């Protein structure tokens, strides 16, 4: 049985260690000073005994389970785990086997004055699964709700339980030649319900990128009862109920299952990598493609540093792909390449797309290795209008200087890109969190000042709260919803200012 890492990303056996870590240190030391120390992974001492009685549903109170459910998977989480800083673990990790168990947990939590934090894959990077109040809390791990309940080949849809992980869901669609085609970078270790609760963004996509676009109807268990929306292709009857659950971050209820649209697996594929001599020319090309109606399946622009670090190509690089289950896509690719030519782009003979994909999947493991070497390395993402991108980019680089900042477009829309920034800075042992918090605050301030969102797909959680500013009437409406659905305020209090 492969083991999940409790302190960092993914599988334990994929962690960057030994010679690979030495090599990484060697490469990084060319750009950032390192102190030659590697933070060891701590051996966990026993946590204090759970302060709550054992819940009436399958649960674990041992250190291993509780430690793995204490933090998410952001830089701050990895640093705190490596420092064995587990000040606020859940008292119990509870594994509901069916919806009735969820309701029983709610009743037990109300009776015991406990908070309940829904937990999918625990891949939150915004403090979404970490209760910061004073009351005792439990983690509601939904991994036993992992079934595909129905595959509707006539209407192209799947009904699956909220706790199913990406690979298991796709594996069950594959024999039917179908795919949900929703690939967040965290795909392997995040869940269908978690995607819906955070409005996740999938990669290798333009057009349908957020899970919102794929959801047909959601079933949610709230402390005030179960709600399920009508399953129809589109609905003009008043405000859309599913919109209330999309992005609710576990504060209104537990998404126990949902119907989502699937598509036939693509059989026609065409791709190309295009390099540009100037970054602004590459941005102009991508804007034109995004507004052309061509809808590439992949349209990912790497700035020159990002391209250099991931593909060893020292210029802005566009990774472009088209796919279809129905018709050849060479003509569409040809037209997109023509647009790039118009902005000075040249088709590359190197396989940047393949190199980039490999680097993309390894990135979280490398990030953990860098953290052990003392580097401050983290990402943040946003979306803005095309008209504001250049000034935003310049302001971010200036605000975070002298940290190294790279940028890629993870998603593009006709009205603007979703830029994704990676920040590297030399850390001071013991001061890494302070430094990152300062960089994050500076970056977030710039985002807001330039009219960009605090998050395009990482959700609000707790870490984004200072920069998540819903209008007062909207916030009041959300609080009224919360009060109606969760009158005892047991579900993930604090996220979304609720």
Ligand X SMILES: Cc1cc2nc3c(=O)[nH]c(=O)nc-3n(C[C@H](O)[C@H](O)[C@H](O)COP(=O)(O)OP(=O)(O)OC[C@H]3O[C@@H](n4cnc5c(N)ncnc54)[C@H](O)[C@@H]3O)c2cc1C
Q: Which stretch binds ligand X (CB under 6 A): 113-121, 224-232, 395-403, 467-475?
A: 113-121
CB proximity list for 455: less than 8 A, separation 6 or greater? 126, 381, 382, 464, 468
How many CA atoms lie less than 13 Å away from 366 in the CB half-sphere?
17
For the bound state, the minimum distance from the C-beta of residue 161 to ligand X, rounded and expressed in Å, comes to 9
Task: Among 200, 329, 336, 384, indicate the residue that binds ligand X (CB under 6 A).
Answer: 200
**Closer CB to ligand X, residue 60 or residue 458?**
458
Nearest to 303 by CA among 295, 293, 311: 311
Positions 64 through 83 that interact with ligand X (CB under 6 A): 72-73
250 binds ligand X (CB under 6 A): yes
- Sheet hosting strand 254-261, strand order edge to edge: 148-152, 157-161, 254-261, 215-222, 225-228
Q: Which stretch binds ligand X (CB under 6 A): 62-70, 84-92, 199-207, 386-394?
A: 199-207
Q: Which stretch binds ligand X (CB under 6 A): 187-195, 292-300, 328-336, 382-390?
A: 187-195
Q: CA-CA distance, 381 to 78, in Å (whole number)?
A: 19
**Closer CB to ligand X, residue 194 or residue 427?**
194
**Closer CB to ligand X, residue 70 or residue 190?**
190
Tokens of 321: 């792909």
Q: CA-CA distance, 11 to 21, in Å (whole number)?
A: 16
One symbol per residue from 4 to 33: x for binding ligand X (CB under 6 A), - otherwise; what is it? Answer: -----x------------------------
- Count of residues interacting with ligand X (CB under 6 A): 39
Positions 139 through 178 that interact with ligand X (CB under 6 A): 142, 162
Tokens of 225: 């009862």
**Closer CB to ligand X, residue 32 or residue 221?**
221
Nearest to 277 by CA among 341, 359, 352: 341
Question: Counting beta carbons within 10 angstroms of the beta carbon of residue 442, is it exposed (0 to 12), middle (13 to 18) or buried (19 or more)?
Answer: middle
Q: Which stretch binds ligand X (CB under 6 A): 86-94, 107-115, 168-176, 197-205?
A: 197-205
* Helices within 17-131 (DSSP H only): 18-28, 63-68, 75-82, 99-111
How many CA atoms lie less than 13 Å away from 420 in the CB half-sphere?
18
One symbol per residue from 120 to 139: x for binding ligand X (CB under 6 A), - otherwise; what is it? Answer: xxxxxx--xx----------
Task: Among 139, 143, 185, 271, indicate the residue that binds ligand X (CB under 6 A).
Answer: 185
Task: Among 186, 217, 282, 382, indicate the residue that binds ligand X (CB under 6 A).
Answer: 186
Q: How many CB atoms lie within 10 A of CB 496?
A: 24
How many CA atoms lie less than 13 Å away from 332 in the CB half-sphere?
22
Q: CA-CA distance, 188 to 4, in Å (whole number)?
A: 11
One symbol per residue from 451 to 480: x for binding ligand X (CB under 6 A), - otherwise; what is it? Answer: ------xxx---------------------
217 binds ligand X (CB under 6 A): no
Q: Which residues bind ligand X (CB under 6 A)?
A: 9, 72-73, 117-125, 128-129, 142, 162, 184-186, 190-191, 193-195, 197-198, 200-201, 203, 249-250, 254-255, 364, 457-459, 492, 495
């Amino acid at each position: 049985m492969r083991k999940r890492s409790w302190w960092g990303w993914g599988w334990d056996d994929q962690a960057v260690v030994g010679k690979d870590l030495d090599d990484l240190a060697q490469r990084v030391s060319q750009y950032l000073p390192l102190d030659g120390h590697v933070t060891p992974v701590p051996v966990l001492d026993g946590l204090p005994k759970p302060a709550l009685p054992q819940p009436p549903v399958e649960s674990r109170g041992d250190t291993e389970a509780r430690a793995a459910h204490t933090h998410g998977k952001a830089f701050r989480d990895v640093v705190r785990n490596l420092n064995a800083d587990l000040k606020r673990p859940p008292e119990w990790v509870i594994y509901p086997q069916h919806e009735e168990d969820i309701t029983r947990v709610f009743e037990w939590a109300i009776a015991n004055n406990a908070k309940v934090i829904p937990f999918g894959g625990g891949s939150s990077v915004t403090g979404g699964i970490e209760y910061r109040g004073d009351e005792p809390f439990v983690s509601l791990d939904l991994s036993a709700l992992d079934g595909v309940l129905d595959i509707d080949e006539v209407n192209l849809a799947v009904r699956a339980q909220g706790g199913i992980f990406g690979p298991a869901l796709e594996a069950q669609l594959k024999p039917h030649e179908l795919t949900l085609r929703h690939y967040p970078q965290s795909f392997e270790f995040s869940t269908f319900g978690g995607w819906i609760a955070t409005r996740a963004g999938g990669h290798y996509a333009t057009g349908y990128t957020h899970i919102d676009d794929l959801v047909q109807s959601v079933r949610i268990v709230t402390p005030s009862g179960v709600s399920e929306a009508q399953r129809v292709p589109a609905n003009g009857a008043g405000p859309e109920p599913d919109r209330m659950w999309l992005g609710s971050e576990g504060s209104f209820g537990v998404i126990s299952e949902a119907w989502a649209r699937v598509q036939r697996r693509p059989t026609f594929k065409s791709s190309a990598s295009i390099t540009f001599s100037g970054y602004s020319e590459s941005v102009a090309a991508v804007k034109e493609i995004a507004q052309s109606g061509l809808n590439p399946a992949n349209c990912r622009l790497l700035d020159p540093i990002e391209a250099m670090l991931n593909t060893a190509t020292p210029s802005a690089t566009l990774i472009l792909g088209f796919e279809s289950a129905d018709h050849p896509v060479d003509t569409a690719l040809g037209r997109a390449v023509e647009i790039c030519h118009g902005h000075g782009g040249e088709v590359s003979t190197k396989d940047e797309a393949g190199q980039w994909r490999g680097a993309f999947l390894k990135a979280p493991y490398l990030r953990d290795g860098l953290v052990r070497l003392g580097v401050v390395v983290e990402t943040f993402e946003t979306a803005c209008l095309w008209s504001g991108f250049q000034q935003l980019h310049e302001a971010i680089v200036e605000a975070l200087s002298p940290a190294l900042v790279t940028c890629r477009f993870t998603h593009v829309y006709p009205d603007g890109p979703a830029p994704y920034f990676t920040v590297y800075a030399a850390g001071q042992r013991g001061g890494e969190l302070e430094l990152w918090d300062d960089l994050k605050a500076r970056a977030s301030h710039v985002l807001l000042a330039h009219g960009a969102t605090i998050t395009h797909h990482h959700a609000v959680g707790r870490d984004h709260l200072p920069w998540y500013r819903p209008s007062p009437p909207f916030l009041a409406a959300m609080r009224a919803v919360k009060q109606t659905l969760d009158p005892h305020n047991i579900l993930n209090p604090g996220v979304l200012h609720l």
